[in-house]
Amino acid sequence: MVDTKTALSGWELDNPVIPASGTFGFGQEFAAFYDLGILGSIALKGTTKEPRFGNPTPRIAECTEGMLNSVGLQNPGVHKVIKEELPELKKIFPKKAIANVGGFSEEEYVYVASLFDKEEQIGLIELNVSCPNVHAGGMSFGTDPKKVESLTRAVKAAVKKPLYVKLSPNVTDIAEIALAAESGGADGVALINTLLGMRIDLKTKKPVLANKKGGFSGRAVFPVALRMVYDVYEAVHIPVIGMGGISRAEDVMEMMLAGASAVEVGAENLVDPFACRNMIRDLPRVMEKYGVKSLKEIIGGAHR
């Protein structure tokens, strides 16, 4: 028997597979496909203080082995999420979830994070300073190490649960940003958010997305994400959640060898709603194939 367990800042997970924020809603849509209880956890849809519609449509475009989205943090607002979504989630998911906190000011991030911090259903808080689809806030925080450090410090002071900062890949040196999060007191980092990209429609000669640019994700980004997780693992002493283009159990193991303590699966859920279930099912077989008895033991293994 192989051991698929892992842990994030003392929080034990049955396995490292977590659907990524923004690709899994608040779980309801996937409960029709399989029993969500098998998941390591679920990273909930990015939540802001006020309800948001997001950007105008079209906000999805296809790419080779991936996709662009410019959804722009559509969500019902933190109060509705806590009052309505969390109780509904509890009915279909017995474990703790990850709250993904978005914002446009330090005050808003602190406000939303402290509300989630009071919820026993939440295992950790993921601070989204990397959404490429909102004009103020989002990525404008996550690309500046000074802002990342001070925002992390402010939110950390307001919460008791582990705080993980979700990083943008749209920077020169992602390890520098990770270090800034660590200096600010982050308990961990999660990476990568989407890569800023665009598509142009040859028929209309205009960008496909109404917002022109959007976040690129899907299988195509896996090697880039893996390299960034590898770099960040070298730089920091806090745990890393690895994500970006993961589509199969083999990718989960590669990401953990690069330094991830757990992984998030994003775009793949959208094209194959069974993606996470299949990865969890396949993990023991793939571990055996490569002579791995315990996933915990391979975290960062590629650095040794």
> Tokens 């997305």 label which residue?
209
Is 152 a binding residue for another protein by CB under 8 A? The answer is no
Query: Measured from the CB of residue 121, what is the shortest distance to another protein in angstroms?
Result: 20
> Tokens 């959404």 label which residue?
131
* Smaller CB separation from another protein, 272 or 282: 272
| Binder of another protein out of 20, 61, 122, 159 (CB under 8 A) | 61
| Binder of another protein out of 67, 124, 131, 246 (CB under 8 A) | 67
DSSP states of 158-180 = H-SS-EEEEPPS-SS-HHHHHHH
Is 64 a binding residue for another protein by CB under 8 A? The answer is yes
For the chain, the residue count is: 304
Token duo for residue 222: 């896996």
Query: Measured from the CB of residue 80, what is the shortest distance to another protein in angstroms?
Result: 12
| Residue pair 96/262 in contact by the 8 Å Cβ criterion | no
Per-residue binding letters, 28-47, with another protein (x by CB under 8 A): xxx-x------------x--
Residue 129: closest CA among 115, 150, 157? 150
| Binder of another protein out of 9, 74, 140, 183 (CB under 8 A) | 74
**Is residue 131 annotated as part of the catalytic site, yes or no?**
yes
| Residue pair 19/265 in contact by the 8 Å Cβ criterion | yes
Is 105 a binding residue for another protein by CB under 8 A? The answer is no
Quick one: 202 exposed, middle or buried, by C-beta within 10 A (0-12, 13-18, 19+)? exposed
Query: Measured from the CB of residue 79, what is the shortest distance to another protein in angstroms?
Result: 16
Query: Measured from the CB of residue 247, what is the shortest distance to another protein in angstroms?
Result: 10
Is 219 a binding residue for another protein by CB under 8 A? The answer is yes
| Residue pair 185/163 in contact by the 8 Å Cβ criterion | yes
Token duo for residue 200: 């142009």
157: alpha, beta or left, given left = phi > 0 and alpha = psi -120 to 50?
Answer: alpha
| Binder of another protein out of 7, 38, 60, 302 (CB under 8 A) | 60
Is 54 a binding residue for another protein by CB under 8 A? The answer is yes
Q: Which of 71, 73, 131, 287 is catalytic?
A: 131
Is 57 a binding residue for another protein by CB under 8 A? The answer is yes
Is 207 a binding residue for another protein by CB under 8 A? The answer is no
Token duo for residue 181: 């999060």
CA distance 292 to 151: 39
Enumerate binding residues for another protein (CB under 8 A). Answer: 22-25, 28-30, 32, 45, 53-54, 57-67, 69, 71, 74, 208, 218-219, 267, 269-273
